[in-house]
Structure formats: structure tokens, C-alpha cells
A and B are shown apart, each in its own frame.
Chain A
Amino acid sequence: MKKYTVKDYKSKTKPIWCPGCGNYGILNAIYRALEQLQIPTHKIGIISGIGCAGRLPGYMGTYGFNGLHGRVLPVATGAKMANLDNTIIAVGGDGDGYSIGAGHIGHAARKNIDITYIVSDNGIYGLTKGQASPTTPLGIPTKTTYYGNLGATFNPIRTLIAYKASFVARIFSADIKHSTDIIAKAITHRGFSFVEVLSPCVTFRGKDQYDYFREKSFYIPESYDPSNEVNAFDYANDEDVFELGIIYKKSRPTYDEALEEVRIKAKKDGVPSKLGLLNNFEV
């Protein structure tokens, strides 16, 4: 059996993110998680939309797909459901996922599609150079909110629990060891796993975003029971701090399992040859 190392998961292309970008940490954590799980490179599909984080598939030695802005989850859903042999990981930023693509999150989550969705959340549009996103804090000026950002800040954790995601976690890109562990658990989880990443944008949110995340975050204690939805909402509702770790986790049937039951049901009253399907048109 071939032993896969981090090197196998890397492509020949060097990342072109800004120095200090949180995405480096995420990329490294993904490499390490895959190495830990020993998933063959040809059985992995990394799917992305548009944004700084959307470039990530290009840095992978696996199969990658870089599609349209906001459509990472439908592509990942199709890719997973069409061939269950593959491990499908969707990646993107807060603009891609929580703004233009927000309509898809609920459905991938409620259907419990067996994919992992990693959101690199820096609270700003980086690739288009500094416009407001749904997680940009209230009141701060950006290029498109000259006089300060309006509208309440989107709460991804609370939303995902409400959408019945079966695995909801948060990590901080600066802690690669913890991130590796959580991403590996997310990939192993059967069902829709959501990982929100505190990922600083040093260029448009300033270097102190690292300090801010460090100050405001804490690790969830081991005694915590993530299967308790009420506790999970308690964590999610406290918007003053960022809890790191698995916030909510509950096993429930995946969409592919449900669909397999449909296939069994459909086959029960016989599987005609394809020409035999014509009998349905007999009068």
C-alpha cells in the first residue's frame, strides 16, 4: 500500500495569497488531515467557488474544481452524490458562502450530504480588494461601506445548527494542530460537516485581526457534550466570543443512505431492460 505524505497532497503551484493570510494555515491543516487519514489523492475532490480561499484546489495534488462564485455546494453535492467512492471537500470564503451562495447552505445541510464544507471567514472580500461581507463587523468602514458597515453580522454557527447540519465546528487558522484534528474529524464524519475558520485577512482587516481572534477565542472543554442542541445554541448565541472545537454533532441518516433505500424500493417491482421501459407507454 502506498503511503501518502503531505508532499503528495501538494500541487506544483505555489500559493499566491498575501504573506500572513489565514488561508496558509487552512491549506496546511488540510494537507495534514489528509495525510493522517491516508486518503488516496485520486479519490479526493476539492471543490471551490470564487474568492481568495477559492484558489485552494489549485494548490492540491488531488482532483480539484474551481467553479462559479457562490456555487461550491451544489457542485460538491453533485460530485459526491454521483460517486460515493470519493471524498469531497468544499472550501470557500465568507462572501462566497454566506452572501452569494447563502441559499445553498441550508439545503446541503438539511439533506445531510456527506461532504465537508470549510469556510475561511475573514469578514471581508479579499480578492476584490476590501468590500464588506456578511460577517464584516457592524460599523466598520470598508470600500463599499465608506461611512461604516450596516446590517447585523451573520452568525454562521447558529444558522448551521438551525439548518440541521450534523457536524458544526469552528477552528482558528493560526492553530494548525487543532485545525488538523478538527478537519480530520469533519472529513470522517458521515454527513454534512461544517467547519467555520477564523482566518485573518492581514491586508484588508489589518494584522491585529490575529490578536483579536486570539483574545476572543477559547477551546471548548473536553467535558462538553456536542450532541446537546441547547448547549450548542448557547455557545452560538454568545457573539462576544469564539468557541473553538466541535460545537454540535449528531448522527442522522445521510442523503445517500436515504437514496439507496429509494433505489431498493424502486427495484422491488422489477427492473426491466431499458427497452422494457416502453411497456409503460402501452395502452
Chain B
Amino acid sequence: MSRNNIVIGIAGSGGDGIITAGELLVKAASSDGLFVFMLKSYGPQIRGGESSIKLRMSELPITSQGDKLDVLVVLNWKDFLRFKSELLLEDDVVIVSDSDDKFPEEDIPIDKNKMKKWYKIPIAEIAKESSGTKQSKNIVMLGIVSELFNLPKEALKRSIKKKFSKKGQKVVDSNIIALNAGQDHVKNSLTKIDPLEFEYKEHEPRLVMEGNEAIAYGAIYAGLDFFAGYPITPSSEIMQWIGRFLPKYGGTIMQMEDELASINAIIGASFVGKKSMTATSGPGISLMNEGIGLASMTELPVVIVNVQRGGPSTGLPTKTEQADLMQAIWGSHGDSPRVVIAPVDVEDCFDSTVLAFYIAEKYQMPVILLSDGFIGHRKESINPAHLKDKKYGFKKINSRKTPTKEELKDYKRFKITKDGISPISYPGIEGGEHQTAGIEHDEYGYPSSDVDVHKKMTIKRYAKYKAIKKEFSFERFYGPDDAEIGVMAWGSTKGAVKEAVKKANEKGIKVQAIIPQIIYPFLMKPFKKFLENKKKVIIVEMSYSGQFTRYLRGFINFRKYGVTTFPYLITGGAPFTVEEILNKITEVTEEK
């Protein structure tokens, strides 16, 4: 059975090199021009513990990580058990496991009938014999699966050479020996009992990126000058990447003592006219909320990235959720306008970051980029041409509007205008001296506790929303307009939703999905258009409390459109599968 789309899961203990193996496979597939998705999952332990990857490669475009595994590779069954809900198996799954692992077979919770296609191979032993160390069992394993299922073999060799070349020829050689040993074992000592065969033609090489890297790259592309942050999982890669590359362009990066310092430092940098950003996760945002209010009040452009993780408090730091939506929209104190944007996949992490800087600088307000651990840590192959040929209509207006000579004669930093945007001066500009204050102030910036001033200035700050709503109308629609079944979702759930909608339509269920990019302010227009023909709408989100559902209900009178809503809320830290959403679509369609 040859196919051009395969989902592979690998599980083992933390020291088994599972993630390295997965990364090598992603690079190999990507270098042969395949579409690849890889999710990493691991426990909170720093060393040891358990780790797994789920990898999907396909010759044709894919938008999700795939649901069930066609191939399961287990180096350690005990560790696999911790992922049994994240690594679901196809009925005809093929299993490859290390026969050295003495875990009792009766304790493996997999249907014994399915075990017919189970290769028990002494992986560690082959590693020891060929390369002299059991440590290379992850590479032997790659040799085995690449030979068994015809995964990119030559490309794997190239990836291994590239990855280990820094460590010297010896290391490269011993890893190549390990790879060959795995492949030879399959050729010489194994009878293939399964029909699974991956088949593809080579295409132009693609890039491999994680969402966090795409955000970091997008920020530098957008002209980031100043970054201040504090490490937190799952966002730290953003700061690490920026720390490596921003200094090349003369920018400034600072690790601060906490998130309070981070948000205030970027506000300080923005005050002196620089494009500034910080990145954190939910708990960090909680600490930054007061600062977000300050940025809103002082009308200073800042970009704040929240790579959401699971649960409140420490919660599930290495897993994902979409439960910071309300915090992003309503967090902080007082009426404090900000814009909330949600990227939907790795490439969109780049686009959304550029957009976040554009909106922040133009509208002089905080912009929150609401990503999550799912796309933040997901490796995805990307067509390099897409990133090179970006045509942003707003490229030119990428810096804040400074006052003219005429305006400086009687300079009002917070001048009331129709679109709420006032010319902004900063230290270095002669004649633009003023006080920027968190205390309510008049148009000149002078403190005032006059109720009329507060009223006028609040309205001024909110006037920006009107202009933003006018400027942006972009939403993602998938499926036919005349569908009566609708799906509303946001952020990283897009991948599974898009694929489920496509499958449903292929099956003859007419369904359309809408996924906004700008979450707040709420852009009613595209939703209005979307709702025209709908009778039933499923609202899909990784939030047990239904934050997106409540948010939508706050703006949309579904009854007016004759629409019944079906919230589909999950928690648990694992992203939606296509099947889950497809089942929900079927269920809702059939409901009378």
C-alpha cells in the first residue's frame, strides 16, 4: 500500500534522543520538498523523564499534524504510556519497538490483534555493535524506519552530516554507521510483514521553522530595536533567537529581573522612539497587566507576545491551551484599549508579528500577539518563496508619526483627532518636550483629574478602534458561503478545523469555517457575511470555560441570525484532532 502521507509517532525516555531523531527526519523530509509537521511532547523534567514526537509528512499540502499514527516507534514502553492519549493509533498501525525493553507485554494497552504488525528489533544492541555506543539507538531507529517505510533516506544522511559536522568527522561517521546499520538490519535480517510504503517525488527544498522562531524573525524583519524579557516556557525561544540575531543589526536585548521589569523596560524604550517588544506566557502576562494599562494610557507602541500554555498557575507549562483570551482582551485595569492578534500557524506567526508592529506603531497602543505552545513549538516546513515575496501594503507606514514643525509650535502630544492618532515626539526631538504620564492628562500631557478631561481622553483613545476596524477586513473563510453549518475558531485550532471542513465537504456535508486574525477589536463585518446562510454554528476552542464562545456571544446576537450555537470546548493540553472536529460537524449536522 503506497501512500504519500504518513503519520509517525516516536516515544522513549528523555535521554533517548527522540527529539533529535524527529528533527533529523523533519529536515530530511523538508530538504526533499515534502510538507512536514512535527509536535514535540515531553514532561516537565529537565533531564530524563519521557519524551515523544508526532510527525506527519506528505507530498501534498497539509494543515494539521494528523490524527492517528500509521507508525508507532517505541524505545521504551513505560514512557509511551504517558503519551497514550496524545499518540492515538490507526487500526492498522505498524509498531516498531526495541526488543531490549523488558516491559511486560500484557501491560501494553494495545489491542493484541493489532500487534500482528509488530517488529521487535534489538535497536540498542545494533547501536552498540555498529557504532560502539547504545546512545546512537535513535539513529539506528531512523535507519530502520526509513528503510522499512521508504522515508527520505539520502536526505537523512545529508541531515545527519549537517547536524553533526560541528562535532567533527568522527561523530559524523559513527552516526552514519548507525544509520546504515539500521537500514542493513531491515534489508538483511527482517521480513517485511506490513504493506506500508511511503512514496513521493522530490520537490524544491523547504525551510523548517517553529512558531516561536517565526515570531522572532518577523520581529526583526519588522524593524525591532529593543527587546526585554524574562524566560518562561513555552516562549523562551523567541528571546533566545532574538538575542542571537538582533545584535547583528545594532539592536538591544536585555534579560530583565522579572516580567514587571520587562514590560516597563519596553515601555521606556518605546518612550524614546524605538520599536519594542517582549514575549512571555500566561503567568508572565498576569504580571505585565498593569504595564499594559500604562502603555495603553501613555499611548506608546509596544508588542507583547503571549505563547499560551495550559492551566492557571504553573499549570501545564509544556502543553497548550487557548484560555488566555479574556486576559488578553480585558486584562489590566480601567478602560485600556489594546489590539489582540492571533496567529494560526507557523508561517502566520511571521505575518502576524509584522502586522502587530504595524498596528502598534501606527495606532500607538499595545498589541498582544496571542500564540500558543502548540504552534510555538511546532516544527513546520515552509515554502521559502512565501516568506521572500511578502507584499505588505503597509510596509511604508512602519514607523510612528512624528510632529511637523508647524505642530511643534503649540505641541499637543495627545491631540484629539478623528482617528485618535496624535503626532508623537520623543527625546531627541527639539521642541517636542512633554510629559508622558500614566496619570490622566490633557492634550498637552499635563496631569488632570477633571472628569471632562478623562471622558474626552478615553473617547480619544478608543477612537483608534474605529480606524482599525475600517482599515482591516481580513478574515479566513474555508468552505462554501452557502453552507448552513458553520465553524468559528481562532488561533492554532485553524489547522485541524480547515482540514476537517475540507473532509466534511468532500463527504457531502456543506460546512464553512471562519478564523479571524485580528481578534480584538471585534470586526463585525466578516462575521455578518459569514452568518448570512448559517443555521448551526460550532464554536471550537481549547478553553474549558468557553472564553471565545462568551466573547462571540457578547458581540453577536446569534438568535437574530436564526443561528444555534454549539460550543465545542476542550481542556487537557492536547490540541484538537481533525477527527474530533469532523465528528462534531457530523453530530451537529444530524441533530434535529
Contact = CB atoms under 8 A, between A and B. Distances in A.
Interface of A: 11-13, 40-45, 47, 55, 57-58, 60-68, 70-71, 73-83, 85-86, 103-104, 106-107, 259, 262-263, 265-267, 271-272, 274-275, 277-278, 280-283
Contacts of A43: 427-428
Contacts of A61: 433
B439 interface: yes
Contact of B268 (A41, A47, A263, A281): A47
B248 interface: yes
Contacts of A106: 257
* Residue among A41, A47, A82, A280 facing the most chain B CB atoms (10 A cut-off): A82
B271 A75 contact: yes
A225 to B, nearest CB: 32
B252 A259 contact: yes
Contacts of B228: 74, 78
A278 B388 contact: yes
Contacts of B430: 40, 42
A-B residue pairs, 5 tightest by C-beta: A78-B268, A78-B265, A82-B269, A74-B264, A75-B268
B435 A66 contact: yes
Nearest to A105: B257
Contacts of B244: 266
A74 B260 contact: yes
B461 interface: no
B252 A278 contact: no
Interface stretch (B178-186, B272-280, B575-583): B272-280
Contact of A45 (B258, B267, B272, B298): B272
A64 B426 CA distance: 10
A74 B271 contact: no
* Residue among A43, A67, A71, A283 facing the most chain B CB atoms (10 A cut-off): A283
B193 interface: no
Given A68-B438, A283-B208, A266 B260 contact: no
B315 to A, nearest CB: 24
Nearest to A85: B428
Contacts of A73: 261
Interface string B429-463: 11111111111000000110000000000000000
A265 B270 CA distance: 26
Contacts of A265: 247
Given A70-B260, A265-B247, 15 more contacts: A11-B435, A57-B435, A57-B437, A58-B446, A61-B433, A63-B436, A71-B291, A78-B228, A78-B272, A78-B276, A83-B272, A86-B272, A272-B248, A283-B30, A283-B162
B428 A283 contact: no
Contacts of A64: 434-437
Contact of A62 (B207, B221, B248, B433): B433
A63 B252 contact: no
B435 A65 contact: yes
Contact of B269 (A12, A58, A70, A81): A81
A267 to B, nearest CB: 6
Contacts of A68: 264, 290-291, 294, 438
Contact of B427 (A63, A70, A78, A280): A63
Contact of B258 (A55, A62, A103, A263): A103
A71 B264 contact: yes
A97 B492 CA distance: 42
A24 to B, nearest CB: 18
A79 B271 contact: yes
Given A71-B264, A263-B247, A79 B272 contact: yes
Contacts of A271: 248-249
B256 A74 contact: yes
Given A58-B447, A63-B426, A263 B272 contact: no
A266 B247 contact: yes
A259 B436 CA distance: 28
Contacts of A44: 427
A80 B27 CA distance: 42
B168 interface: no
Interface string B62-88: 000000000000000000000000000
Nearest to A82: B269
Nearest to A268: B248
A81 B250 CA distance: 12
A40 to B, nearest CB: 7
A260 to B, nearest CB: 9
B118 to A, nearest CB: 32
B95 to A, nearest CB: 28
Nearest to B247: A266
A47 B427 CA distance: 12
Nearest to A262: B247
Nearest to A57: B435
B387 A282 contact: no
B209 interface: yes
Contact of A281 (B213, B220, B272): B213
A234 B102 CA distance: 67
A37 to B, nearest CB: 16
Contacts of A40: 430
A266 B298 CA distance: 34
Interface string B414-432: 0000000000001111111
Given A74-B268, A78-B226, A83-B273, A66 B437 contact: yes
Contacts of A76: 268
Interface string B214-244: 0001001100011010000000000000001
A224 B151 CA distance: 76
A164 to B, nearest CB: 15
A278 B384 contact: yes
B281 interface: no
A183 to B, nearest CB: 19
Contacts of B27: 283
A253 B427 CA distance: 25
Interface in B157-178: 159, 162
A119 B209 CA distance: 47
B432 A79 contact: no
12 contacts: A66-B439, A67-B294, A71-B291, A73-B261, A79-B271, A81-B226, A82-B270, A103-B258, A263-B247, A278-B384, A280-B245, A283-B206
B31 interface: yes
B414 to A, nearest CB: 14
Nearest to A87: B427
